[in-house]
C-alpha cells in the first residue's frame, strides 16, 4: 500500500461489548474494500483480525489487531479491540492511537455493560464516533429497542442516519435518511420523515448559524446538513447511528463512507502531549514536516520476524533503514524494514507519514509505551495508563525442563501486554503473574506455552503471613556437645517482648560481668536473626518483637562463635513458643465501585470476607465506591466474585496497607489449611 498523506488517513477503533460484532464488521469492511475476496468466519477461525490460536479456540478477540484498508483514495487503519473486560489493556492500547471510534451495539441486546465501559474509554480521549447497530438480521433484533437503550445510556445526541427495512429474517437493507432521493418502501414514509426531522434538528443544534436558520423556519440545504453533521461528529455534539448486518454485508459500504466523510483525519484530531529533552511540555499536531515522534503501543513475538513493535507516528515521517533514538531508554535503535499491517500479515513500505500506524521488527531495547524520535530532537510522548492487576496466580514450571525457561517466557509475555505484571513474592518465594481476571492470566500462560515452549502450572498464591508474639517471655538455653577434642558450649538467657505493629525486630543486650564474652554477643544475635526467618506456628517470618540477651555463661575452651549462634537460635525458638505466638495477615486497602443497585449485595459479601468498611462515596453516575480494609486471604478470587455480583459492571483497586493479627478463633483453621496446601504443593 502506497504511503498516504496525513489528511487522507483515518485511524478508527472498533469498541463494543464482547460478542457485539466488531470483528465481523471489520471483515465486512475489508471485503467491501476488496482487501479480501470473501468474508471470514469466527466459528471457523478464518477472520483476518482474530488470528491467534487462543482467539480461534475461544471464538473471541483477546488482542488488538490493525487492519489497513484502502477506500476512496484514503487509507483506513481499522483497530479491532477485544470487548471482554479481562483484555481492557488491549483496548486501552488501541484507543490510545486511534483518532475516532465506531461503537458497535448488537441489535438483539442493545447497550450492554461493556458498551458503556468502552464508551467511557472513548470519552477519556474526547473521541469523535458513530454507532453501528449490528446483527439486524438475527432473531430478536429490534431497532427501536436498541435505539432506546442507546439514547438512555448516551443521550439524545445519538441520532439515526439510517432506518432499517425489516428486521430479523426479513431485514433487507437500510434507508439513508441524509439522502432526500432515497427510495422509501411503502408504509415507512412517516417513520423516515420523523427520523429526518430529528436528524436535522440535531445537526442544527451543533452549529449556531444553522440553529438560527432552523429556528426561523428556513430549510437547511443538503450541503449545510452534510457539513453540519461532520462538524457535529468531530466536536462530539452529534453521534450518528447506522444499522446493518456484517455477514450479509448490508451497510458495510455506508460504514466505510461514513469513516471518510464524518470522522477526523489525524491532522484534525486533538494534539498529542509530549515532553522535550529539557522537560518542557509540548503539544504535537500530526504533521509530517514536524519532528519525529512515534509511540510503540504494542509488542508481540512473531514466529517469522521475531519481536514486532507496533507504533503510531504522532509527528514527522518514520523511515525504513534509518537510525532513531529511544527517548524512554536513552539508547539508539536501528530501524530496518517498516511494515503496514493486515492482521498477522505485513507489507513493507519505505516510510509512514505522520498519523499512520505500522510496525518494525527486531528492535533491541524498545518495549511497549516507549517513544522513538531523533537523537538531536528528543521527545517523549505521554504513555498509556493501564489498570493495575486485580487477579494473581502463582506460576510454576511443569517439569525440570521448564525451570530455566519460565522466567524468560513470563517476562516476554508481560512485555507483550503491559496490563500483566510479574513479581517475585519475597516471603513465599513464589513468582506471581497478575492480570485483570482469570481468563487474562490463563491466556497469558497459553501464549507462553505456544510461543516459547514452556509449560506452566497455575496455583492460588500463598498469602505472605507473618508471625509475632503477644506476650513477653524469658528463656534459658544451654548448648553443650562433646565429641572428643574441643567440644561446643554456649549458655544464654533471652528476654522477648512484643513491639508495636510494623516496628520490625530489635536486638539488645545487657550482659554484665562478662558472663557472655563480648566477642560472642554478635553470634547470639546472628543465631536469633536466622531463627526468626522461620516461625514456630506455620514457618513464616517472626516480626515486631525485641530480643534481649541478659545473661549466660561460657567455657574457656569449648565456647565459640558457632556455639553461641546455635544457642541463640534455639533460645529464640523456645522463647517464642512461651510468648503466646500469633499469626499476622496482610490487610489490603480496596476501593470497590459498583452500581447503586448492587451495592447492598457487594457490602454483604465484603462483610462475609471480614472487611472493615471505611466509607461509601456516591459517584453521581449511578455508582457508589466502597472503601474497605480487608484481609488479602479473602480477596484472592475477588475479581471473579465482583464480576458475578455486578454482572460485570463492578471494578476495584487494591493495594497492601498493613499487617494485623488473625482473629484467635480463625488462627488454628488458617494454620491447618496452610499445612494442607504445603502437603499438596510437595506432591505437585
| pTM reported for the whole predicted model | 0.89
For residue 120, name the pLDDT band (cuts at 50, 70, 90). very high
For residue 684, name the pLDDT band (cuts at 50, 70, 90). very low
Q: Is the pLDDT of residue 328 over 70?
A: yes
Q: How far apart are CA 666 and CA 538, in angstroms?
A: 14
Q: Where are the beta strands (DSSP E) in 252-398?
A: 272-276, 281-284, 293-302, 306-315, 318-319, 322-326, 331-335, 338-342, 345-349, 351-352, 357-361, 371-373, 379-381, 391-397
Residue keyed to cell 452534510: 226
Q: Is the pLDDT of residue 597 over 70?
A: yes
In eight-state DSSP terms, residue 291 is: -
For residue 664, name the pLDDT band (cuts at 50, 70, 90). confident
Segment 88-91 long-range contacts (CB within 8 Å, at least 24 positions apart): 88/117, 88/387, 88/419, 88/436, 89/386, 89/387, 89/417, 89/418, 89/419, 89/420, 89/436, 90/62, 90/63, 90/64, 90/298, 90/417, 90/419, 91/15, 91/64, 91/118, 91/121
Please give the full DSSP string across 24-64, using - where no structure is assigned: HHHHHHHHHTTSSSS---TTTT--SS--SHHHHHHTS--S-
Mean local confidence (pLDDT), 657-674 = 89
Q: How far apart are CA 445 and CA 546, in angstroms?
A: 44
For residue 677, name the pLDDT band (cuts at 50, 70, 90). low
For residue 145, name the pLDDT band (cuts at 50, 70, 90). very high
- Which of 145, 185, 147, 149 has its CA nearest to residue 165? 185
Cα-flanking dihedrals φ and ψ of residue 396, to 5°? -135, 145
User: Which tens digit of pLDDT belongs to each residue from 542-577?
Assistant: 999 999 999 999 998 899 999 999 999 999 999 999
Q: How far apart are CA 38 and CA 47, in angstroms?
A: 10
What is the average pLDDT score of the chain?
93
The set of cell numbers assigned to 225 is 446538513
Name beta bridge partners: 373: 293, 325
Residue keyed to cell 472513548: 122
Residue keyed to cell 507489507: 347
Residue keyed to cell 422509501: 184
User: Which tens digit of pLDDT belongs to each residue from 470-519?
Assistant: 999 999 999 998 776 678 999 999 999 999 999 999 999 999 888 999 99
Distance of CA 611 to the CA centre of its chain: 26
For residue 411, name the pLDDT band (cuts at 50, 70, 90). confident
For residue 320, name the pLDDT band (cuts at 50, 70, 90). very high
Q: How many CB atoms lie within 10 A of CB 606?
A: 22
Query: SS3 of 179, please?
Result: coil
Q: How far apart are CA 475 and CA 552, in angstroms?
A: 11
pLDDT at position 601, please?
Answer: 94
Q: Is the pLDDT of residue 239 over 90?
A: yes
> For a pLDDT cut of 90, what percent of the chain falls above it?
83
Contact 414, 422 (CB under 8 A): yes
Q: Is the pLDDT of residue 341 over 80?
A: yes
User: Which tens digit of pLDDT belongs to each residue from 414-461?
Assistant: 888 999 999 998 888 899 999 999 999 999 999 999 988 899 999 999
For residue 291, name the pLDDT band (cuts at 50, 70, 90). very high
Q: How many CB atoms lie within 10 A of CB 291?
A: 17
- Which of 163, 164, 160, 180 has its CA nearest to residue 172? 164
Q: Is the dihedral of CA 447, 450, 456, 457 positive or negative?
A: positive
Contact 317, 326 (CB under 8 A): no
Contact 291, 373 (CB under 8 A): yes
User: Which tens digit of pLDDT belongs to each residue from 537-550?
Assistant: 888 999 999 999 99
Name beta bridge partners: 14: 80, 102
Q: How far apart are CA 609 and CA 642, in angstroms?
A: 13
Ordered by where they begin, the domains of the chain are: 6-179+237-262 (3.40.50.300), 272-381 (2.40.30.10), 391-459 (3.30.70.870), 467-579 (3.30.230.10), 585-671 (3.30.70.240)
> For a pLDDT cut of 70, what percent of the chain falls above it?
97
Residue 299 contacts by C-beta under 8 Å, 6 or more apart in sequence?
307, 308, 309, 310, 366, 367, 368, 415, 416
Q: How far apart are CA 18 and CA 85, in angstroms?
A: 8
Mean local confidence (pLDDT), 196-219 = 89
Q: Where are the beta strands (DSSP E) in 94-161?
A: 100-106, 128-134, 158-160
Q: Is the dihedral of CA 203, 207, 211, 214 positive or negative?
A: negative
Residue 641 contacts by C-beta under 8 Å, 6 or more apart in sequence?
605
Higher pLDDT, 428 or 393: 393
Dihedral class, residue 129 (left if φ above 0, else alpha if ψ from -120 to 50, else beta): beta
Kindly tell me the number of DSSP H helices and DSSP E strands found in the chain: 16, 35
The set of cell numbers assigned to 469 is 508474639
- Residue 618 CB-density burial (10 A; 0-12 exposed, 13-18 middle, 19+ buried): exposed
Amino acid at each position: 500500500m502506497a504511503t498516504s498523506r496525513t489528511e487522507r488517513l483515518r485511524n478508527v477503533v472498533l469498541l463494543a461489548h464482547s460478542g457485539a460484532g466488531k470483528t465481523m464488521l471489520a471483515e465486512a469492511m475489508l471485503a467491501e474494500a476488496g482487501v479480501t475476496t470473501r468474508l471470514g468466519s469466527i466459528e471457523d477461525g478464518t477472520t483476518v483480525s482474530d488470528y491467534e490460536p487462543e482467539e480461534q479456540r475461544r471464538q473471541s478477540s483477546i488482542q488488538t489487531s490493525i487492519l489497513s484498508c484502502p477506500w476512496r483514495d484514503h487509507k483506513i487503519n481499522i483497530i479491532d479491540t477485544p470487548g471482554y473486560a479481562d483484555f481492557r489493556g488491549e483496548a486501552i492500547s488501541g484507543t490510545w492511537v486511534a483518532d475516532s471510534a465506531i461503537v458497535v451495539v448488537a441489535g438483539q441486546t442493545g447497550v450492554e455493560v461493556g458498551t458503556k465501559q468502552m464508551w467511557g474509554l472513548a470519552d477519556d480521549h474526547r473521541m469523535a464516533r458513530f454507532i453501528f447497530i449490528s446483527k439486524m438480521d438475527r432473531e430478536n433484533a429490534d431497532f427501536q429497542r436498541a435505539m432506546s437503550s442507546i439514547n438512555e445510556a448516551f443521550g439524545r445526541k445519538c441520532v439515526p442516519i439510517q432506518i432499517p427495512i425489516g428486521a430479523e429474517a426479513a431485514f433487507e437493507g437500510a434507508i439513508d435518511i441524509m439522502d432526500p432521493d432515497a427510495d422509501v418502501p411503502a408504509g415507512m414514509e412517516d417513520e423516515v420523515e420523523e427520523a429526518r426531522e430529528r436528524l436535522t434538528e440535531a445537526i442544527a443544534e451543533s452549529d449556531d448559524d444553522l440553529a438560527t436558520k432552523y429556528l426561523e423556519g428556513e430549510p437547511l440545504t443538503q450541503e449545510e446538513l452534510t457539513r453540519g453533521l461532520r462538524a457535529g461528529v468531530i466536536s462530539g455534539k452529534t453521534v450518528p447511528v447506522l444499522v446493518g448486518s456484517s455477514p450479509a454485508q448490508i451497510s458495510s459500504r455506508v460504514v466505510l463512507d461514513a469513516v471518510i466523510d464524518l470522522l477526523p483525519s489525524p491532522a484534525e484530531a486533538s494534539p498529542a502531549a509530549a515532553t522535550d529533552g529539557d522537560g518542557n511540555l509540548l503539544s504535537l499536531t500530526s504533521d509530517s514536516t514536524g519532528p519525529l515522534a512515534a509511540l510503540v503501543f504494542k509488542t508481540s513475538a512473531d514466529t517469522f520476524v521475531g519481536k514486532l513493535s507496533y507504533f503510531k507516528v504522532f509527528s514527522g515521517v518514520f523511515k525504513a533503514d534509518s537510525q532513531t533514538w529511544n527517548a524512554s531508554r536513552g539508547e539508539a535503535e536501528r530501524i530496518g524494514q517498516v511494515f503496514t499491517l493486515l492482521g498477522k500479515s505485513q507489507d513493507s513500505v519505505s516510510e509512514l507519514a505522520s498519523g499512520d500506524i505500522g510496525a518494525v521488527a527486531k528492535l533491541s531495547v524498545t518495549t511497549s509505551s516507549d517513544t522513538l524520535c531523533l537523537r538531536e530532537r528528543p521527545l517523549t510522548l505521554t504513555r498509556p495508563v493501564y489498570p493495575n492487576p486485580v487477579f494473581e496466580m502463582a506460576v510454576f514450571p511443569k517439569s525440570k525442563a521448564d525451570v530455566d525457561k519460565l522466567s524468560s517466557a513470563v517476562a516476554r509475555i508481560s512485555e507483550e501486554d503491559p496490563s500483566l505484571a510479574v513479581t517475585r513474592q519475597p516471603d513465599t518465594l513464589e513468582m506471581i503473574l497478575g492480570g485483570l481476571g482469570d481468563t487474562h492470566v490463563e491466556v497469558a500462560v497459553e501464549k507462553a506455552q505456544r510461543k516459547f515452549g514452556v509449560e506452566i502450572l497455575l496455583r492460588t498464591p500463598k498469602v505472605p503471613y507473618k508471625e509475632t508474639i503477644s506476650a513477653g517471655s524469658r528463656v534459658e538455653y544451654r548448648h553443650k556437645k562433646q565429641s572428643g577434642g574441643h567440644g561446643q558450649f554456649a549458655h544464654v538467657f533471652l528476654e522477648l517482648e512484643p513491639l508495636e505493629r510494623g516496628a520490625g525486630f530489635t536486638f539488645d543486650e545487657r550482659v554484665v560481668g562478662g558472663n557472655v564474652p563480648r566477642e560472642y554477643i554478635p553470634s547470639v544475635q546472628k543465631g536469633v536473626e536466622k531463627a526468626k526467618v522461620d516461625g514456630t506456628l506455620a514457618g513464616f517470618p517472626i516480626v515486631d518483637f525485641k530480643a534481649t540477651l541478659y545473661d549466660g555463661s561460657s567455657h574457656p575452651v569449648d565456647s565459640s562463635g558457632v556455639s553461641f549462634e546455635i544457642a541463640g537460635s534455639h533460645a529464640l525458638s523456645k522463647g517464642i513458643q512461651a510468648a503466646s505466638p500469633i499469626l499476622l495477615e496482610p490487610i489490603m486497602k480496596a476501593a470497590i465501585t459498583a452500581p447503586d443497585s448492587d451495592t447492598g449485595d457487594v457490602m454483604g459479601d465484603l462483610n462475609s470476607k471480614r472487611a472493615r468498611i471505611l466509607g461509601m462515596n456516591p459517584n453521581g453516575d449511578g455508582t457508589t465506591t466502597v472503601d474497605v480494609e480487608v484481609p488479602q486471604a479473602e480477596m484472592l478470587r475477588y475479581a471473579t466474585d465482583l464480576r458475578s455480583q455486578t454482572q460485570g459492571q463492578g471494578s476495584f483497586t487494591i493495594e497492601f496497607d498493613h499487617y494485623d493479627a488473625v482473629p484467635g478463633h480463625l488462627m488454628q483453621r488458617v494454620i491447618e489449611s496452610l499445612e494442607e496446601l504445603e502437603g499438596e504443593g510437595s506432591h505437585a
